[in-house]
């Protein structure tokens, strides 16, 4: 599904983060990206999500290069294919949980019919992750674990092929981290969701089918 071929990536003042780095991620698989701070985990997530580009090399999604995309094509690729979850939930404080979850739908024009379908899908997902009771609450009054599960539902509302999670349990206590990690694994099995997660947590990494470890190059 994702093929990264011999990419090189440097930042000004940092030097090379990746040199001739290659990685293939199969559809429906789960991958944990581990490694020390500064080793390039977020950079790798950003490259796969078309938020950043390598200096050299190739990145293919379903055999098609994502490096030739214009800004609009990148946005459309992300909207159609990628769901993002970050360390902080990044929910909008002035919108309720359900409004936050529905937000990615408004990147495109949708019919009332599709909207109604998506409301049902959001309800189903919220039940699935156990947050149906907080649907009409604002982010400030829900727990960190609930907010992070809401951001997981938001990431999935457009039925992405890939979930990119950058330190998704980094702000959670052990119990909520465990709940979120287990849900990710279950959703991989239930929906065939491909999951790539950057994490410092050995517990989360152990839940994924495969682990790669990045080293700091410089
Ligand atoms: N936009 C940027 N400009 C300059 N340097 C950058 C930029 N983004 C990342 N870097 C550098 O690239 C290296 C890799 O950063 P990255 O954020 O990918 O690491 P990470 O593995 O995600 O670290 P952490 O575990 O702390 O999140 C770091 O040395 C970082 O300072
Ligand atoms: Mg990072």
**Angle, in degrees to the nearest 10, between helices 112-129 and 174-191:** 130
**Angle, in degrees to the nearest 10, between helices 144-156 and 174-191:** 20
Nearest to 195 by CA among 3, 45, 74: 45
To the nearest whole percent, how much of the chain has pLDDT over 70? 99
Q: Is residue 51 domain-resident?
A: no
pLDDT value of residue 106: 83
What is the CA(100)–ligand 2 centre distance, in A? 24
Nearest to 183 by CA among 210, 156, 213, 211: 156
Q: 109 pLDDT band (50/70/90 cuts)?
A: confident
CATH number of the domain that 142 lies in?
A: 3.40.50.300
Bridge-based pairing state of the strands 194-198 and 162-166? parallel
Average pLDDT, the chain: 95
Nearest to 169 by CA among 191, 135, 195, 138: 195
Q: 118 pLDDT band (50/70/90 cuts)?
A: very high
Q: How far apart are CA 58 and CA 35, in angstroms?
A: 23
pLDDT value of residue 88: 94
Q: 131 pLDDT band (50/70/90 cuts)?
A: very high
State the Cα angle at 202 between 29 and 172, rounded to 5°.
Answer: 95
Give the tens place of pLDDT for each residue, 163-200. Answer: 999 999 999 999 999 999 999 999 999 999 999 999 99
Q: Is residue 110 domain-resident?
A: yes
Q: Return the ligand 1 atom nearest residue 35 CA.
A: 21
To the nearest whole percent, how much of the chain has pLDDT over 90? 94
Q: Tell whether the model's pLDDT for residue 62 goes beyond 90.
A: yes
State the Cα angle at 74 between 188 and 199, rounded to 5°.
Answer: 40
Q: Tell whether the model's pLDDT for residue 116 goes beyond 70.
A: yes
Question: Could you tell me the two tokens for 114?
Answer: 């599709």
> Which sign does the torsion angle of CA 76, 82, 83, 84 carry?
negative
What is the CA(13)–ligand 1 centre distance, in A? 11
Q: How far apart are CA 206 and CA 162, in angstroms?
A: 19
Q: Is residue 65 domain-resident?
A: no
Is 171 within 8 Å of 118 (Cβ atoms)?
no
DSSP letter, residue 69: -
Q: Return the ligand 1 atom nearest residue 44 CA.
A: 18
Q: Is residue 14 domain-resident?
A: no
Is the shortest distance between the CB of 42 and ligand 1 below 6 Å?
Answer: yes
pLDDT value of residue 160: 96
pLDDT value of residue 110: 87
Q: How far apart are CA 104 and CA 6, in angstroms?
A: 33
Give the tens place of pLDDT for each residue, 134-147. Answer: 999 999 999 999 99
Mean pLDDT of 21-37: 97
Q: Is residue 127 domain-resident?
A: yes
Is the shortest distance between the CB of 41 and ligand 1 below 6 Å?
Answer: yes
Q: 217 pLDDT band (50/70/90 cuts)?
A: low
pLDDT value of residue 216: 80
Q: Is residue 78 domain-resident?
A: yes
Bridge-based pairing state of the strands 82-85 and 162-166? parallel
- Give this prediction's pTM: 0.95
Domain count for the chain: 1
Q: Tell whether the model's pLDDT for residue 218 goes beyond 60.
A: no
Q: Is residue 21 domain-resident?
A: no
Range of the domain at 136: 29-39+74-212
């Amino acid at each position: 599904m994702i093929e990264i071929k011999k990419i090189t990536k440097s930042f000004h003042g940092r030097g090379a983060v990746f040199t001739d780095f290659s990685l293939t991620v199969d559809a429906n698989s789960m991958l944990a990206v581990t490694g020390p701070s500064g080793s390039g985990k977020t950079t790798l997530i950003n490259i796969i999500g078309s938020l950043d580009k390598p200096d050299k090399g190739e990145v293919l999604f379903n055999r098609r290069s994502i490096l030739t995309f214009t800004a609009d094509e990148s946005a459309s690729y992300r909207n159609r294919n990628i769901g993002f979850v970050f360390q902080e939930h990044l929910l909008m404080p002035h919108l309720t949980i359900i409004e936050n979850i529905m937000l990615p739908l408004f990147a495109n024009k949708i019919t009332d019919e599709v909207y109604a379908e998506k409301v049902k899908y959001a309800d189903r997902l919220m039940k699935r992750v156990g947050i149906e009771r907080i649907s009409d609450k604002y982010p400030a009054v829900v727990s960190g674990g609930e907010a992070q599960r809401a951001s997981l539902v938001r990431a999935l509302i457009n039925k992405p092929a890939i979930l990119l999670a950058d330190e998704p349990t980094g702000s959670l206590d052990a119990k909520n981290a465990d709940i979120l990690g287990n849900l990710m694994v279950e959703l991989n099995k239930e929906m065939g969701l491909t999951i790539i997660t950057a994490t410092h947590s050995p517990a989360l990494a152990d839940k994924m089918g495969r682990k790669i470890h990045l080293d700091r190059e410089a």
